[in-house]
Amino acid sequence: MITFTDVSGFITVQDGGRVGVAHLAIPTSGAFDKYSHDLANRIVGNAHSAATVESLRSSFSLISESECVLAVTGAPVNVRIDGVQLHMNAALHVPAGVTVEITSVHLAMRTYVAVRGGFVGDAVIGSQSYDELSKLGTSPLRSGSQLAVGNDYEREVTSAHAVVKGVHLSSHFVAEVSIGPRWEMFPEAQQLFSQTFTVSGQCNRIAVRLEGYSFSWDTDARLPSEGVVYGAIQIPVDGQPLIFGPDHPTTGGYPVIGVVSESDMSVIAQLPPGATLQFKRSST
pLDDT tens per residue across all 284 residues of the chain: 999 999 999 999 999 999 888 888 888 999 999 999 999 999 999 999 999 999 999 999 999 999 999 999 999 999 999 999 999 999 999 999 999 999 998 889 999 999 999 999 999 999 999 999 989 999 999 999 999 999 999 989 987 655 666 677 778 999 999 999 999 999 999 999 999 999 999 899 999 999 999 999 888 877 888 899 999 999 999 999 999 999 999 998 899 999 999 989 999 999 999 999 999 999 77
- The answer to whether the CB of 173 falls within 8 A of the CB of 268 is yes
Q: What is the pLDDT of residue 161?
A: 58
Pinpoint the residues of the chain covered by CATH 2.40.100.10: 172-281
Give residue 47's pLDDT.
95
**How high is the pLDDT of residue 220?**
81
CA pair distance 121, 139, nearest whole angstrom: 9
Contact predicate 14/129, CB 8 Å: yes
Residues 141 and 2: beta-carbon distance below 8 Å: no
Mention every residue, 6+ apart, whose C-beta is less than 8 A from residue 184: none
pLDDT of residue 112: 97
Give the model's pLDDT for residue 164.
64
Q: Which amino acid is at 10?
A: F
Check residue 107 and give its pLDDT.
85
The closest of 119, 110, 30 to 69, measured between CA atoms, is 119
Cβ pair 34, 267 in contact under 8 A: no
User: 138-143 long-range CB contacts below 8 Å, 24 or more apart?
Assistant: 138/12, 138/13, 140/10, 140/11, 140/12, 141/4, 141/7, 141/11, 141/12, 141/13, 141/53, 141/60, 142/4, 142/7, 143/4, 143/5, 143/6, 143/7
The beta strand positions in 140-214, using DSSP E, are: 146-149, 172-179, 197-203, 207-211
How confident is the model at residue 163, as a pLDDT? 61
* Residue 218: per-residue pLDDT: 86
> How many Cα atoms are found within 13 Å in the side-chain-facing hemisphere of 227?
10
Q: What pLDDT does 22 receive?
A: 86
Which is nearest to 235 in space by CA: 174, 275, 177, 180? 180
* Dihedrals phi, psi of 188, to nearest 5 degrees: -115, 40
CA 59 – CA 80 distance, rounded (Å): 12
Whole-model pTM: value is 0.94
Give Cβ neighbours of residue 194 (< 8 Å, ≥ 6 apart). Answer: none
CATH: 3.30.750.24, 2.40.100.10, 3.20.20.70, 3.40.50.1980. Which one for 172-281?
2.40.100.10
